[in-house]
Amino acid sequence: MLMTKKIRATIIWIMTFIFVFNSMSMVFASVDYPKKTVKSFSEADKIESMAIKERDRKILQGDIKIKSEEISPQYVDPGIGATRVIEDAWSTGYLYMDDEKYGIGDLIWDAVLTISGYFTTTVGNILLDIADLFFDIVDTNQVVTARLYHSYYYTEKLAQVWIEDKIWKTYYTSRNREWYRHEFGSYVNTAGATRTYTIDKTWDRGYSPIHIDVAPHYYDETYLTNQAYERWAIGLPAGFEDWTGVKR
């Protein structure tokens, strides 16, 4: 009877072990870190796509208010069917995180961070950029963090036609996408205070984009005005093109 209990206890223990092992295996098998990263970018892309669709909808409905479209009381009627190209720009405020490094400063100072191959820097460069702003000295014996982000800035050329309602109406839009970098860093200075800061390397601060995704005809205003005129003349809705070459 005693042996039976021992055998039963052993069997229960073995079955429990197998169950736990299989359960843990399933948990670890379900963890897919690359997909989580991809999923994050996919969600960001979805947000960008929704913002662009909303922008296009407003252009189609004439809801975009552009200062250069305002008509002066002294304006000269250019004549029905006249065309022109004006420029506008906008952004969504969404950030993509591209790269991150953290650890003891001395050990990762020269570690490289990149933004999709368009921009490369080091942990040390990011931290020194921030330290210079605050007249700090970084304590490299302590833990530091450096991150690179990028944001998008959309520039547009809107080809318009002067229509019967005595207004300029957009009939064709060409859109470029500019990439701008954002540098985040955290460290302990030699006074023992923790410093965190983000530097926005954007156009309004005098920085050039690190990359531009160019629409097929962005720099061909003759093509843009011809497209706008043809759409107006035959009654088609406004058309769009972007850096992917897609026309809508």
When the pLDDT of each residue in the chain is averaged and rounded to a whole number, the result is 84
Q: Which helix (DSSP H) or strand (DSSP E) does residue 95 occupy?
A: strand 95-104
Q: Which residue has the higher pLDDT, 9 or 210?
A: 210
Please indicate whether residue 8 or residue 38 has the higher confidence score (pLDDT).
8
Q: Is residue 24 part of a domain?
A: no
> What is the end-to-end Cα distance of the chain in Å, rounded?
81
- Give residue-wise pLDDT tens across range 165-180: 999 999 999 999 999 9
Cβ atoms 96, 89 nearer than 8 A: no
Looking at the DSSP bridge assignments, the partners of residue 167 are none
Cα 112 to Cα 248: distance, rounded to the nearest angstrom = 40
DSSP state of 69: G
246: in domain:
no
Whether 217 and 241 have beta carbons less than 8 Å apart is answered as yes
* Residue 83 bridge partners (DSSP): 161
Task: Flag whether 218 is in a domain.
Answer: yes
Tokens of 5: 């209990």
Instruction: Name the residue type at position 12.
Output: I
Determine the distance from the C-alpha atom of residue 191 to the mean position of all C-alpha atoms in its chain, rounded to a whole number.
Answer: 36
Number of residues that this document lists for the chain: 248
Residue 107, domain member (yes or no): yes
List C-alpha distances in Å: 4 to 8, 11, 24, 56.
Answer: 6, 10, 30, 77
Q: What stretch of H or E contains 113?
A: strand 112-115
**211-213 and 239-241 strand pairing:** unpaired
Block residue for tokens 């109406």: 169
* Single pTM value for the model: 0.78
Q: Work out whether the CA dihedral 81, 82, 85, 91 comes out positive or negative.
A: negative
To which residue do tokens 């309004």 refer?
Answer: 204
* 8 Å CB contact between 190 and 239: no
pLDDT digits (tens, 9 = 90+) for 111-146: 999 999 999 999 999 999 999 999 999 999 999 999
Predicted local distance difference test score (pLDDT) of residue 127: 99
Task: Supply the range of the domain harboring residue 191.
Answer: 32-241
Query: What whole-number distance in Å separates Cα of residue 94 and Cα of residue 160?
Result: 29
Residue 155 near residue 213 (C-beta atoms within 8 A): no
Q: Is beta strand 83-90 parallel, antiparallel or unpaired with respect to 168-188?
A: unpaired
Residue 2 forms part of a structural domain:
no
* pLDDT, tens digit (0-9, with 9 covering 90-100), for 79-121: 999 999 999 999 988 899 999 999 999 999 999 999 999 999 9
By C-alpha distance, which of 206, 212, 143, 200 is closest to 174?
A: 212
- pLDDT class for 65, splitting at 50, 70, 90? low
The answer to whether residue 223 sits within a structural domain is: yes
Percent of the chain with pLDDT over 70: 78
| Tally of domains in the chain | 1
Considering the domain boundaries, does residue 10 fall inside one?
Answer: no
The vertex-216 CA angle with 215 and 217, nearest 5°, equals 95
